[in-house]
Structure 1
């Protein structure tokens, strides 16, 4: 089994947490979307949406985050003969879908300084154009991604889009706060795949230095967050990259890569 992902991708974190919680072995491939690696023809042929993560088991390829997690569960159930684990309940699936409905893309980008965001956006557009020239048979799919890049910038200038994204997040967190006042975890007294879906959302808020506003202001979520950070899966998938100076290592390395490539006009 192979997973194409990036440590800072929210959906990638969800899948990796599921893999670690179920103790599933897999081969890890880092694909950095900020440097345009998801636009390389080899990856693009496998997944023309260029989104992360991508899960591959033999010839079976899955792009949808929830479907990947369900597939992982089925693998574990079959391998254990159904003795160690059962498939997620309806309540767990409902929470998974509810969390997945919030797209962190615009919320995240709106908190990145504009000069850096625009610089990276320009770099990625040039990467797409370069890959389009290298692989003319994929020109149509690459052109679609180029339109998406321009569309993203347009939406980031639309205050209503950003407002809706924030309001959606607030509603979700308020609902989570209410639920956690009743149970220890999101779908009951046991850790489930619903929690796997929520953890990266909270981690993203911490990365953006918004912990006080969105987590600290909600006592039950704050308590839950402290507990979650003690789990081995969290430490391996997220904590490893967020602790101390490591929090900035990947970002600095990525930024230097983009700057140098732009100066050399090598896309």
Structure 2
């Protein structure tokens, strides 16, 4: 058994970041796959590892570590070859600015869009009691309130338009950074690109083609990122037929909602 255990789920963008780094480093790991909408992350045994009731969590030598950005930096420190942090201090700072904005706004925005467009339909197919139980199990009050509104109202949730606008700004930021370098933090693929890789795939799944069309330089970079072997191994191969079909079925709703918001 590998010394490192990863608690994750197939469609978690945060868990996917960690799988990409593990693939880049060719590190062996043991998989513990959680059904998030089935409540696995809310069970007492898992909460003892990660009190936030989210994935990913890694456990090494009996010690748990949470927060995907922190985990990715730990893995790069622990297995430094090939390096995923730029060699120069300035570019490392740029890398961390990208992962900081991902953690401090982009992740929540993408989660809102993904949930409102597609994921909520899985929960709406369940009983009202199951839906209420899932919402009640979310430990953070703000996440719980946001999830309830998104579940009930979908693309008409008050959280949807600000999330779409946040992603529009993100694409403009991508374009500005890529005007001067092939990768987000400079001349080499880094943890900045790793961090956004699963989100680029998710953007395509839920209907952000409008923004890729608006920014050809971003579209070209996204294709290079998505086609990288570690991203294929850490993200694409984990997208099951059911999830792909769920997003495909509801993508047109996302496209129409985005177009209306970004036009207005």
Fold shared, TM-score > 0.5 on shorter chain: yes
Structure 2: gaps of 5 or more residues? 87-91, 247-264
SS at match of 2:161: helix
Decide whether the 8 Å contact of 2:53 with 2:139 is kept in 1: no
Residues 119 and 191 of structure 1: is their aligned pair in 2 closer, same or farther, counting only changes over 3 Å?
Answer: same
Superposition pairs of residues 68-107 of structure 1, within 5 angstroms: 68-77=71-80, 85=83, 87-88=85-86, 89-101=92-104, 102=106, 103=108, 104-107=110-113
CA separation in 2, counterparts of 1:86 and 1:204? 22
Q: CA deviation at 1:231?
A: 1.3
Decide whether the 8 Å contact of 2:41 with 2:54 is kept in 1: yes
Q: CA deviation at 1:148?
A: 5.1
2:217 aligns with: 220
CA separation in 1, counterparts of 2:21 and 2:127? 31
Aligned length: 231
CA separation in 2, counterparts of 1:179 and 1:249? 32
Residues 128 and 146 of structure 1: is their aligned pair in 2 closer, same or farther, counting only changes over 3 Å?
Answer: farther
1:35 aligns with: 38
Q: 1:240 aligns with which of 227, 237, 240?
A: 237
Decide whether the 8 Å contact of 2:84 with 2:189 is kept in 1: no
1:231 aligns with: 228
Q: Does 1:13 align with 2:20?
A: no
Residues 34 and 250 of structure 1: is their aligned pair in 2 closer, same or farther, counting only changes over 3 Å?
Answer: farther
Q: 2:133 aligns with which of 120, 126, 129?
A: 126
Superposition pairs of residues 1-267 of structure 1, within 5 angstroms: 1-77=4-80, 85=83, 87-88=85-86, 89-101=92-104, 102=106, 103=108, 104-112=110-118, 116-119=122-125, 122=128, 123=130, 125-126=132-133, 144=139, 149=144, 151-154=146-149, 157=153, 159-208=157-206, 210-242=207-239, 246-248=240-242
Q: CA deviation at 1:10?
A: 0.8
Decide whether the 8 Å contact of 1:17 with 1:237 is kept in 2: yes
Decide whether the 8 Å contact of 1:99 with 1:172 is kept in 2: no
Decide whether the 8 Å contact of 2:84 with 2:190 is kept in 1: no
SS at match of 2:235: helix
Q: CA deviation at 1:20?
A: 1.2
Q: Tell me the TM-score normalized by structure 1.
A: 0.75
Structure 1: gaps of 5 or more residues? 130-141, 253-267
Q: Tell me the TM-score normalized by structure 2.
A: 0.76
Residues 120 and 219 of structure 1: is their aligned pair in 2 closer, same or farther, counting only changes over 3 Å?
Answer: farther
2:249 aligns with: none
CA RMSD after TM alignment: 2.9
Q: CA deviation at 1:151?
A: 4.9
Residues 69 and 7 of structure 1: is their aligned pair in 2 closer, same or farther, counting only changes over 3 Å?
Answer: same
Residues 113 and 197 of structure 1: is their aligned pair in 2 closer, same or farther, counting only changes over 3 Å?
Answer: closer
SS at match of 2:183: coil
Residues 230 and 115 of structure 1: is their aligned pair in 2 closer, same or farther, counting only changes over 3 Å?
Answer: closer
SS at match of 1:56: strand
Deviates more, 1:150-159 or 1:61-70: 150-159
